[in-house]
A and B are shown apart, each in its own frame.
Chain A
Amino acid sequence: MADNPKIRLNFRKSLGNFTLRVNCTLETKVSAFLGVSGSGKSTLLNCVSGTLTPDEGEIAFGDEILYASAAGINLPPEKRRFGYVFQEGYLFPHLTVAQNIRYGQPNPRKSSDAIGVLEISELLQRYPKELSGGQRQRVAIARALAMEPRMLLMDEPLAALDSALKDRIIPYLHHVKEVFEIPILYITHTFSEAMALADEAFLIADGEIMANGEPHRLLTAPSAMPIAQMTGVENILFLPVTDSNKARGLTALEIGSQSLIIPYIDVEVGEVVPVAIRAEDIIIALEPDISVSARNILPGKIQYLDVRSERTWLSILVEWHHLAVKITHEARDQLQLKEGSEVYCVMKASAINILWD
């Protein structure tokens, strides 16, 4: 994206004894704010949308100032033209899907684009209560897109859905990202969503931005560990397919010079697929030649070790991928693990999940 408008956020907002302090510039297409509940990420989004007024500071979209306490500027939400997708969807219950989408007096071309991208043309005459959770969320996204917004704000759009549904919605979000040429501000508490969608991620805790950067680097870096401990972490890797054997029910992915075996998926050799491995599903071994049923035994090196919570967190470099691994303190002591130790990461094929196909 060459001409993405810069979004400048520099403000303070207190609610009770909680204070959110933000000072950052969003320059990429999809910016994710990652934090646990109560970290201030929804407050941030509401200040950007205009449904909440900061105490002081400035919010600017490109050259346009939306909020400036010093100048007394505060553009109401209806003038900002930011599409907002809420965690609960918040479709209007008394209106049909079509009327919901029309509510923002949309550009007809954009609404049909949105209806197409989110595949909801079958649902147009239904009422929200007749929709499943996943359908409701797709309609909510379409409604926000149909008004031809300048930016899309998404507040945990997948949080109310179970994980199987999440994996079905994420491709739609990717499609949205490709088709609609607008910046997206995405709020989430899960690493996998941030990794799967964002170009830049911001870690937010206790109302402050702790770190920011490219999601793959940022979220496997030691600085992300404290947040990983609170949110539960999945390692997300984008790996090319090297072999796919339907008869044996297995597909091989390339991870550096090694192979990662996963349950069979029907994709072409050479295609890159995103996979997720939960931090607690990786077993650490000291020897490679152990007899186990797990299909994957990959050598790696412990880069970082964090013992502050009730589990030990390891950041292990496998080829050039960082894997976050969660083990017990007992296991760490018994294996005498420390930074720099050479170890083997053991993973069952079935513990490796495809994020979408």
Chain B
Amino acid sequence: MKITPAEVTALSLSIKVALFSLVIMFPPGLLIGWLLAKRTFPGKSFLNTLVMCPLVLPPIVSGYLLLILLGKHGVIGGFIYETFGIEIVFSQLAVIIAVSIISFPLLVRGIVTGMESVPLELENAARTLGASPLKVFWTITFPLAHRGIIGGTILGFSKSLGEFGATIMVAGNIPGKTQTVALAIFSAVHLGEDASVYRLVFISTLVAFIALWLTERFTLR
């Protein structure tokens, strides 16, 4: 199996994007996961729905909405273009944004499940022992929720690796720039490059399988 440089570029972009997205989304994921699992506040179900939306929306729809928001004439994209002169759409940044939005619900879901499994009584016990809410979070809630957090992280990461619909809408399919593995497979199928399709499909399947298997190992025990 000989992998071409173009395929390597697509693969490394996918991995780079997935890692970036994870690093960016993990802190807000932790905060929102904690809010949803442990707090009651007005607008909680709205926040939950908003975060989970990309899970049920067709990715192509999420991508289109992002395109409208981030485009040169969009609310966010327009502002950024005016202020910094940066165009977001059809850039690697757009890939990262698209992938982050789509994988975020999986990350948050895992974190919420993990944190909900930590009994409030344990956290209260820690409070009575003199721990501030922040100390309780880092020494009790976070370590005891680790299975759910790892599970959500792995699922979110693998979702990021293979994201297609939103990416192609908002970042296009530019080889060497915004073409991730999923988009490379799409192009290869269209161009009839069967060998390339097989290689990329094999690698994608392998990665997905390993990720799921790791999730099972960490969460179901």
Contact = CB atoms under 8 A, between A and B. Distances in A.
Q: Are both chains from one complex?
A: yes
Given A93-B144, A94-B143, A78 B125 contact: no
Contacts of B205: none
Contacts of A88: 121
Q: How many residues of A sit at the interface, in one of the four size bands? A: 20 to 34
Secondary structure type dominating chain A contacts:
loop
With a 10 A CB-CB cut-off, give which of B130, B131, B132, B143 has the most chain A CB atoms.
B130
B121 A90 contact: yes
A77 B127 contact: yes
A319 to B, nearest CB: 44
A105 interface: yes
Interface stretch (A79-87, A196-204, A306-314): A79-87
B127 A92 contact: no
Interface string A54-88: 00000000000000000000001110111110101
B119 interface: yes
Interface residues of B, number: 16
B37 interface: no
Nearest to B127: A77
Secondary structure type dominating chain B contacts:
helix
B191 interface: no
Contacts of B127: 50-51, 76-78
A147 interface: yes
A104 interface: yes
A78 B132 contact: yes
B221 to A, nearest CB: 14
A18 interface: no
B12 interface: no
A103 B127 CA distance: 10
Interface string A121-165: 000000000000000000000011001000001000000000000
Given A77-B124, A93-B144, A94-B143, A143 B129 contact: yes
B65 interface: no
Interface of A: 49-51, 76-78, 80-84, 86, 88, 90, 92-94, 103-105, 143-144, 147, 153
Interface of B: 119, 121-122, 124-132, 139-140, 143-144
Chain A to chain B: the 10 pairs with minimum beta-carbon distance, closest first: A104-B129, A84-B128, A77-B127, A51-B124, A90-B125, A78-B130, A77-B128, A90-B121, A104-B130, A78-B127
29 contacts: A49-B128, A50-B127, A50-B128, A51-B128, A77-B124, A77-B127, A77-B128, A78-B127, A78-B129, A78-B130, A78-B132, A81-B130, A84-B125, A84-B128, A86-B125, A90-B122, A92-B122, A92-B125, A92-B126, A92-B140, A92-B144, A94-B143, A103-B129, A103-B131, A103-B139, A104-B129, A104-B131, A105-B130, A153-B128
